[in-house]
Structure 1
Amino acid sequence: MHKENLFQLISKGDVVLWVGAGSSLYAGLPSGNKLSEFLFDGLSIKEKEYINKNLLLPDLAEEIYRIKGNNRNYIIQKLKEKILLNNFLSTSAHENIAKIPHFRDIITTNYDQLFELVYRSKLNLIYSDHQIPYIDNSKVTLYKIHGDLSVPDSVIITKSDYDNYFGNKKEEEVLWTMIKEKIATKSILFIGYNLEDSNVSVIFDNITKKLGANRKESFFVSPNVPPQKLYHLSDKKIHYIDSKGEDLIIELIQYLKDNIKKDYENKMVSTEIYAEFLRNFNLKSDIEINELTNTIKNFSGLNGDTETIAEFVIDSTYPEIDKVIDASEGEFIDELVIDKSAFKNLDLRMEGIKIADLSDIATLTISPIPIFDKDVDVSFENGYELNDISVKVTRGGSRTKVLIEFQKNEFELIITIKENNFILHVDYRNSTLINNVSRQLQFYNAMNLLATGNTINAFSEGKLVFTSVEKFDRRILDGFKGLYDYNLFYLKYFEKLKEIEKEYNIRFSNIDINEVSDKNDIILNRIISKIRKEPIEEFFKGISFNIPLTERNKKLFADIENPTIKFAANMKKFTLHNQEFQLGEHDIHIVEPRILNYENVLKGIDEEIRIESNKEKILIKFKD
């Protein structure tokens, strides 16, 4: 209960961290007892005769100070020798604390420089009044209340130092006034102390004395404290948490990872602390700040890819449960979209930070990570080249998917090899809107070469990354045969567009791919016919029309065995792919015409005469 309460207070930034020597033992630094031994062992034999080596550190230091003629030099030099290390065994616990920007103020009785090492330039170091005017509020502030070894006069080590620490002189100091303000307005978390520490009682007693009953909650973290010794804490209204300090910090980080998103959305944490916490785990997010709530639009990595883990339970009755199972086992190559209704629970994390649960989503999209995702240049054996082609390769179990994109056209190749069975699936998707005929022709020419088995080499960043000489199985080439016919229509269509552009000095743009059709291909052929001054042959099913029974018409259709039928026509102005054309007058010749009902028209049985072509063809020739 106390731990949960503490974590909630830390989430709000309402806790001051108070750190003792126990928090630095893991780094290879000495405890108070070890420091006492080190100070005693450095004395001369004669000096040792006058000092009880079993004294607590402050009392021992006091005796050494006196025996040295009220000189602190020996003590300071020994402290530097033992504490100012060049190489620590580890700094992990302090690094973890530095990942928690919710701690804006840290108070320590330690002399070491572990916090300075892990925070680097993000720390205000305060151990005297003179440094206070230079505090940068964007940084964490470290109060070294027992001083800093770089300034010997600031160091508190002897019994006299401790006796004077909370004395009247301190009341006048700006530093102590600031510390009182911090601990009066925020809760205190003590780590790195045990109840046998000589200065713990002094600290607890004086905080109680100075702040009285109206002080905020305090928390004391230490492992395995016997129940009979806890009365000292409860008497001062300090909550005990049975844990190692470094373990508690790890639990705290996990708690913050679990709750930082919700805390920020509910305005429990500032934008600055939220953003810094994300940065400490290589993340950033786009946000929208509103009056009542904050909105998080997305998350992304600071340096490219991030570790993203989704843990969820899917209802076994979900229709696409097999696809979900495949995805969970890495057997997928396509995006998988799962509806919210499929989930029993969901936990989605990036770099360990919880970014979503069921309340946050409508659907969950899972995308495979490509094994290759780069732009390449391709050259074919006939010398044809294509540059800046996007190639993405994904692999899932027995399937490999190659997706090639150029000018928003896509060519997809899926190869499945399972139990000696080879399955090839080829898909081809045109760009929906085409703005450049020449570039589109590049794509169709490349597809044509690919479909006809031309050897290809692909280069990325100046290096050969693929060659079909080694990689193309004969079965793949056989599978391309269907691609050839499909691609040929588009290739020929755009070749005609290019010829028209050159003839009329125009450029087609915004071509809707849905308008690239058989119907419009017929119109293209007519334009090309006029350009080339060549007749064009078209399919002809037949024609029916009324005809006056004049002597001229009777004579015209009299030879029904070998009639010659020609019409004159005029094609009106029309628009094709956003360009206007007018082909004008042209003649239409019916190839091998036959008149089906001439006798019935003469007898008045049929009103319309019906003419068809034995070849089902007509010839159209445009006039100059």
Structure 2
Amino acid sequence: MKKVIGAVNCGCFMCQNNNSFDMPDEIIESVKKNELVLFCGAGISTESKTVLPTSFYMDILTFLNSEYILNLDTDITFSELMSKFCSIVPNGRKQLIRKIYERFDRIQSFPELYSSATRFHKKVSEIPQIKTIVTTNWDDYFEKECLATSIVDNKDVALWNTFDRRVFKVHGSINNIGSIVATTNDYDKCYERLSNEPIGDRLKTLLGSNCVVFIGFSFGDEDLNKIIDILSERLDDFANQFYLVTVDRSWEKNTDSRIIPIITDGQFFIHSLRNILVEEGNLVENDIYDFARYANQIASDFHKNWLNKIDDFNEKITFYPEIMLSIAYQDGVIHAYQRCYANRKKGDYLIPSYLSNVVASYHNLVDQHEKNKNYLQMYYALGYQDGLIDLEIFLKTNEYLIPPLFTYEGENFATEKELFDFIIANRNSEMYHYLKEIKVPKGTTPHFYPWYC
């Protein structure tokens, strides 16, 4: 086990539950092997007290007591309350869905609320080794923030191996309103699916063969207990040990031997797990994405400013058709940075070996284009490769360095004049005649799309 030190003497609202805890070795080793499964409840999402002052449960309870004078108490279960709403309110099912949408829409409308609701999800996105998530939540935050593909029904299960990161929506999804599980009848049908249908079989396999961490559930959660019972049935002594991360200290009284509680905040737990992976060399720091965004801005501005200043582009390209090689090269460099930054939610670039493997593949691609005399594609691929190498250099040095963006015959130049002087002294006749045959319409400049990345 690794000892994780919490927010010592920090009294702020956001850190008050960041308790010290022991990170089990089983969890650390399982995530290294892409075998950690997160099973997430409402506490990590819209129902967190850091998002809205009252839960959806309390909103519905208050509404029914106020509008229909029911005098309901909090001893009624969630599913019973939703059933009560659907049976009493006209068009109850439709109105319940409307209220769910209104809650999500309110959160989506305020960046501060959305940021609070997705803190956990964004932390999960920083650990690309977490490939499988199971959740009872209706929201689509794992899809948005972790680029996870949702698995909702049996048809989706058939495509299980198609997706790199997936999220099982046990209680349905807001993006598929017919799948939402809310009432007692919905829950009964859900348990039947988990017991007897392919989606349940897949989940049983997952929970029986991987390390599972439950996060965001309160003590005595009836639904959680039922799900664990169903997914653990027939495993007997071979059932896995489950871990449960919670701030609810009532779990310290837990008598279910299948569950080991870890009393700390869920977001802090994921953050701490990521820090351990970084310390042990299984992940790199995620500031590579900040550098990629910065480098893209610098390279893009340079590229646009240079092209905008070439008033006599058609005249220059007549004498120096090799100028198109630098245009292709710069587009490649820019696209390398852009793709890295766009990957932030997926996290591939955080895996230490990822960049070196991609660089090697582009080195082969450059050689292939050169052999086939596809010079423009060659220089585009060379730019993309050099952009990736620049990202590698940042990881090793933490320095914000960007290569000179004019290039020809294996050399890089800081200015257009240096490029032209070198071309005059070292012109490749075969490449010159190849480029000379390419006709660029007057008033336009070439642009190379990321079709070959």
| TM-score interval, smaller chain | 0.5 to 0.7
SS in 2 for 1:40: helix
Equivalent in the alignment of 2:338: none
TM-fit CA distance, 1:82: 1.0
Give, in whole Å, the separation in 2 of the partners of 1:68 and 1:15.
Answer: 42
- Counterpart residue identity of residue 155, structure 2: H
| Offset of residue 239 of structure 1 | 2.2
Instruction: Identify the match of residue 79 of structure 2 among 55, 58, 68.
Output: 58
Is the Cα–Cα contact under 8 Å of residues 14 and 187 in structure 1 kept in the other structure?
yes
**1:51–1:63 Cα contact (<8 Å) kept:** no
- Give secondary structure in 1 for the equivalent of 2:37: strand
Higher-Rg member (1/2)? 1
1:41 corresponds, among 62, 70, 85, to 62
2:115 equivalent to 1:89: yes
Corresponding position: 1:104 with 2:131: yes
Q: Residue 285 of structure 1 is aligned with which of 309, 331, 356?
A: 356
* TM superposition shift of 1:176: 1.4
Q: 2:213 aligns with which of 175, 189, 201?
A: 189
**1:66, distance to aligned residue in structure 2 (A):** 2.9
Q: Distance in 1 between matches of 2:36 and 2:64?
A: 42
- Alpha-carbon separation, structure 1, partners of 2:129 and 2:414: 47
CA distance in 2, matches of 1:175, 1:370: 49
How far residue 149 of structure 1 moved from its aligned partner, in angstroms, is: 2.6
Q: Tell me the residue number matched to 1:342.
A: none
Is contact 2:359–2:388 with CA below 8 Å preserved after alignment? no
Q: 1: distance between equivalents of 2:414 and 2:74?
A: 75
Aligned residue for 1:125? 150
Take 2:78 and 2:263, find their aligned partners in 1: how far apart are those partners? 26
- Give yes or no for contact 1:36–1:56 (8 Å, CA) kept in 2: no
* Percent of residue pairs bearing the same amino acid type: 19
Structure 2 counterparts to residues 178-217 of structure 1, below 5 A: 178-217=202-241
After superposition, where does 1:132-151 map in structure 2 within 5 Å? 132-135=157-160, 137-151=162-176
Q: Which residue of the partner structure matches residue 595 of structure 1? A: none
| Structure 1: distance between partners of 2:402 and 2:91 | 72
CA RMSD of aligned residues (A): 4.1
1:137 shift after superposition: 2.5
Relative to structure 1, the CA distance from residue 27 to residue 284 in structure 2 (aligned partners, 3 Å threshold; closer, same or farther) is farther
Residue 218 and residue 67 in structure 1: after superposition, are their counterparts in 2 closer, same or farther (change >3 A)? Answer: same
Task: Flag structure 1 segments of 5+ consecutive residues without an equivalent.
Answer: 263-275, 290-298, 310-348, 352-366, 379-385, 391-405, 408-434, 437-624
The 8 Å contact of residues 213 and 242 in structure 2, kept in 1 or not, is answered as yes
For structure 1, which segment, 239-248 or 68-77, has the greater mean C-alpha deviation from structure 2 after superposition? 68-77
Q: Which has the higher helix share?
A: 2
Kindly indicate whether structure 1 or structure 2 has the higher relative contact order, using CA contacts under 8 Å at least 6 residues apart. 2
Residue 211 of structure 1 deviates from its aligned partner by 2.8
In 1, the alpha carbon distance for the partners of 2:179 and 2:252 equals 37
Give per-residue Cα distances to partners, 1:466-515, cap 9 Å, x unaligned: xxxxxxxxxxxxxxxxxxxxxxxxxxxxxxxxxxxxxxxxxxxxxxxxxx
Matches of 2:175 and 2:401, distance apart in 1: 52
Change (3 A) 1:228 1:130: closer
Residue of 196, 214, 217 corresponding to 1:172 = 196
Deviation at 1:183, TM superposition (A): 1.2
Q: Name the CA distance, whole Å, in 1 between partners of 2:194 and 2:402.
A: 64
Quick check: 1:302 aligned with 2:388? yes
Deviations along 1:50-91, whole A, 9 cap, x unmatched?
644552322211222332479422222211211344241343
Structure 1 Cα separation of the partners of residues 89 and 236 of structure 2: 40
**Residue 389 and residue 281 in structure 1: after superposition, are their counterparts in 2 closer, same or farther (change >3 A)?**
farther
| Superposed displacement of residue 254, structure 1 | 1.9
C-alpha spacing 1:43/1:172, structure 2 compared with 1 (3 Å): same
Aligned partner letter, 2:356: S
Name the structure 1 match of 2:272: 251
Q: What is residue 182 of structure 2 aligned with on the other side?
A: 157
> Is the contact between residue 100 and residue 253 of structure 1 (CA under 8 Å) also seen in structure 2?
yes
Counterpart of 2:293?
none
| Counterpart residue type for residue 156 of structure 1 | V
Kept after mapping to 2: 8 A contact 1:222/1:245 = yes
Cα distance in 1, alignment partners of residues 414 and 67 from structure 2: 82
- The whole-number CA distance in structure 2 between the counterparts of 1:204 and 1:23 is 19
Spell out structure 1 runs of 4+ moving beyond 6 A.
367-374
Judge conservation of contact 1:285–1:300 (CA < 8 Å) in 2: no
Separation (CA, whole Å) in 1 of partners of 2:389 and 2:49: 30
Question: What CA distance in whole angstroms lies between the structure 2 residues aligned with 1:192 and 1:34?
Answer: 14
Q: Secondary structure at the match of 1:18?
A: strand
Give the residue type in structure 2 aligned to 1:302. Answer: L
1:301 and 1:251 mapped to 2: Cα distance?
Answer: 31
1:288–1:197 Cα change, 3 Å: same
C-alpha displacement of 1:19: 0.8
210, 218, 230: which one aligns with 2:254: 230
The 1:377–1:107 alpha-carbon spacing in structure 2 relative to 1, beyond 3 Å, is closer
- Please give the secondary structure, in 2, of the residue aligned with 1:39: helix
SS in 1 for 2:243: strand
Q: TM-score, normalised by structure 2?
A: 0.56
Residue aligned with 1:231, SS? coil
Q: Give, in whole Å, the separation in 2 of the partners of 1:17 and 1:7.
A: 13
Deviation for aligned residue 1:97: 1.0
Residues 387 and 285 of structure 1, relative CA distance in 2, 3 Å threshold? closer
Q: Decide which structure has greater strand share.
A: 1
Where does residue 20 of structure 1 map in the other structure?
A: 41
Please state how far the C-alpha of 1:108 moved relative to its aligned partner.
0.2
Cα distance, 1:217–1:288 mapped onto 2, change above 3 Å? farther
* Aligned equivalent of 1:75, options 93, 96, 112: 96
Q: Specify the SS of the correspondent of 2:162.
A: coil
| CA apart distance, 1:94 | 1.0
**Cα shift at 1:96:** 2.2
Displacement of 1:45 in angstroms is 4.3
Displacement of 1:114: 0.8
Q: How do residues 189-588 of structure 1 correspond to structure 2 at under 5 angstroms?
A: 189-223=213-247, 225-226=249-250, 228-232=252-256, 235-236=257-258, 238-260=259-281, 277-280=347-350, 284-286=355-357, 302=388, 304-305=390-391, 375=413, 387-388=418-419
The superposition leaves residues 6-42 of structure 1 with CA deviations (integer Å, 9 ceiling, x where unpaired) of: 11111112221111111114696559x7112211333
Residue 304 of structure 1: SS of its match in structure 2?
A: helix
Between the two proteins, the alignment pairs up a number of residues equal to 305
Q: Contact (CA 8 Å) 1:107, 1:145: kept in 2 or not?
A: yes
Report if aligned partners of 1:124, 1:136 keep a CA contact under 8 Å in 2: no
Give the 3 Å change call, closer, same or farther, for CA 79–307 of structure 1 in structure 2.
Answer: farther
The one-letter amino acid of 2:203's match is I
Q: Residue 115 of structure 1 corresponds to which residue in structure 2?
A: 142
Contact 1:108-1:145 at 8 Å conserved across structures: yes
In the aligned structure 2, how far is the partner of 1:368 from the partner of 1:98? 24
Query: Are the aligned partners of 1:20 and 1:193 in contact in 2 as well (CA < 8 Å)?
Result: yes
Distance apart, 1:179 and its partner CA: 1.2
